[in-house]
Structure 1
Amino acid sequence: MDTANMQADASSFIGKLLRGHFGKGPESVFVAIGQPYITVYIRGFMSPTEKVLMAQKEEVILQKTRDLVMASLIPEIKAYLAITTGYEIGSFYYDWGLHNRSAMFVVMSGDTEMLPQENAVGQPQAMRDALHQEIINLSKQSEKQPDDIFSHLVNPRTVIVEREGILVAIERELIRMGMAETLKLAKRSLEKALLHNNNHFEAILGSRVHDIFVDWDFEKNKSVIVFCM
């Protein structure tokens, strides 16, 4: 099966899966398959019940509910992608753009170790350096400067930034105490506010930024940020 057909089949599968578990499917699902990432950009995704929760400013309840459902869906999505693409499937990151009724899944194929920076595709050196510095500045405000940072232009509309070594001592202790879910909710709120209130990204990327997503893998001490233009 060629890549275009794999992407179409994966879009259909994920749309139906979300509809079956959330009661309402997304308006559109865009899948991009290519080493080392598989990205799934979802738009128009919010059930009537979730709209009520948003109106009542109960975003934390909405996110917790979605996270519970995703815990059961992630193994199914990874298994499907492994069979469809033939790739070895690794880490899975996801985030919700509730204000835009959007979502992003990022699946790592093969070895999930960070790729060398020189392997970045399609990014001018000046753009990459400016983007990395802005992410470093933001990271210092919310946690600490990453030990390593790498970015990849997946396609003209999608940039992925990986950070390694971002957790501070108090965060590692909270995780050890079983408070990983609470920590992730807090980091989502803090980092997304910093990302969305930053007025430099559009100038750096040379395009309007429609969505920004962020997720963490606490076990690997890694984070993924996705810019959608």
Structure 2
Amino acid sequence: MGFLDKNEKQTQYEIASHIGRLLREAFGKGPQSIYVSISRPFIVIYLRNFLSPTEKILLQQDQVGSVQQTRDLVMKSLIPEIKAYFLLLTGMNIQEFYYDWGLDNHSGVLVGIEPDNDLAAFSTQESYPGKEELHYEIDSISRQIQKKPDETSSYLINERTLLIVRTGILINIGKELIRLGFEDSLKLAERNLEKNYLRNNNQFQKMIKAPIVDVFADWDFHLDKSIIVFILNPNQK
């Protein structure tokens, strides 16, 4: 039994409190609610009702890019502290860290992943309804934007959190854009295109037999890796 098993609810509460305080100090207003899901090697944090008064004004003026850029700058400064806190509290040595925002829903997600060479060995890689069909559809969307991933894995962290991990998605033009210093522009383009496909695909809900209330995506181009998070509502059929 690991450290997390002893008092998981208390651990989740402490993480939620810490993340809430960090975001409140950085943005002037923190999320109204924070949901922490831990299934090693993953930790997924879902934020709801997270939008500062300044950001609200910027969005009303269609300044989405300004909000995204500011949040990126702030998160880059917060991530080392968040990783250090996870290590101190849970013993989880987070090496990969992803995040994304659902500005239209005032929501967000943070995802940390511990290093492991065989994620498929974890129990979260168990089967769930529609898994093979979902992988096929995700690969199809990836192919339309860049290329079919070398590998697609998914993990039902809990009944409300489905995490998809893709590796090997970059084509040569993407790699060259990164080399030339256009990583942020590439990520913005990828995010806009991919989330549009993901949100407008009604097949996912049918495949996994649960309504999807939020969709997030992020990339680590240097690892040639990407995550997608579906937030589900299993009680609403």
State the TM-score, normalizing by the size of structure 1.
0.95
In structure 2, runs of 5+ residues without a counterpart are 1-5, 233-237
- 1:116: how far off? 2.2
Q: Give the equivalent residue in structure 2 for 1:128.
A: 131
Q: Give the equivalent residue in structure 1 for 2:21.
A: 16
Contact map agreement 2:38 2:157 (CA 8 A) in 1: no
Q: Give the equivalent residue in structure 2 for 1:195.
A: 198
- 1:122: how far off? 4.7
Matched position secondary structure for 1:219: coil
Structure 1 residue runs of 4 or more that deviate by more than 3 Å after TM superposition = 117-122
Q: Give the equivalent residue in structure 2 for 1:81.
A: 86
Contact map agreement 2:109 2:216 (CA 8 A) in 1: yes
Task: Name the % identity.
Answer: 47
Q: Does 1:49 align with 2:45?
A: no
Contact map agreement 2:86 2:93 (CA 8 A) in 1: no
Q: Give the equivalent residue in structure 2 for 1:6.
A: 11
Equivalent in 201, 204, 207 of residue 204 of structure 1: 207
Q: Give the equivalent residue in structure 1 for 2:108.
A: 103
CA gap 1:99/1:155 in 2 versus in 1, 3 angstroms: same
Instruction: Look up the equivalent residue of 1:153 and give its one-letter code.
Output: L
Q: Give the equivalent residue in structure 1 for 2:148.
A: 145
Query: How many residues are treated as equivalent by the alignment?
Result: 227
Q: Give the equivalent residue in structure 1 for 2:170.
A: 167
Equivalent in 120, 123, 134 of residue 116 of structure 1: 120
Q: Distance in 1 between matches of 2:121 and 2:218?
A: 21
Task: For residues 127-171 of structure 1, give each alpha carbon's deviation from its aligned partner in whole angstroms, at most 9, with x where no partner exists.
Answer: 110110010111111111001000000000110000000001100
Instruction: Look up the equivalent residue of 1:216 and give its one-letter code.
Output: W
Contact map agreement 1:32 1:40 (CA 8 A) in 2: yes
CA gap 1:118/1:106 in 2 versus in 1, 3 angstroms: closer
Q: Distance in 1 between matches of 2:91 and 2:122?
A: 26
Instruction: Look up the equivalent residue of 1:27 and give its one-letter code.
Output: Q
Q: Give the equivalent residue in structure 2 for 1:220.
A: 223
Instruction: Look up the equivalent residue of 1:69 and give its one-letter code.
Output: V
Task: For residues 160-189 of structure 1, give each alpha carbon's deviation from its aligned partner in whole angstroms, at most 9, with x where no partner exists.
Answer: 000000001100000001111111111111
Contact map agreement 1:87 1:110 (CA 8 A) in 2: no
- Greater shift, 179-188 or 63-72, is seen at 179-188
Contact map agreement 1:184 1:216 (CA 8 A) in 2: yes
Instruction: Look up the equivalent residue of 1:200 and give its one-letter code.
Output: Q
In structure 1, runs of 5+ residues without a counterpart are none
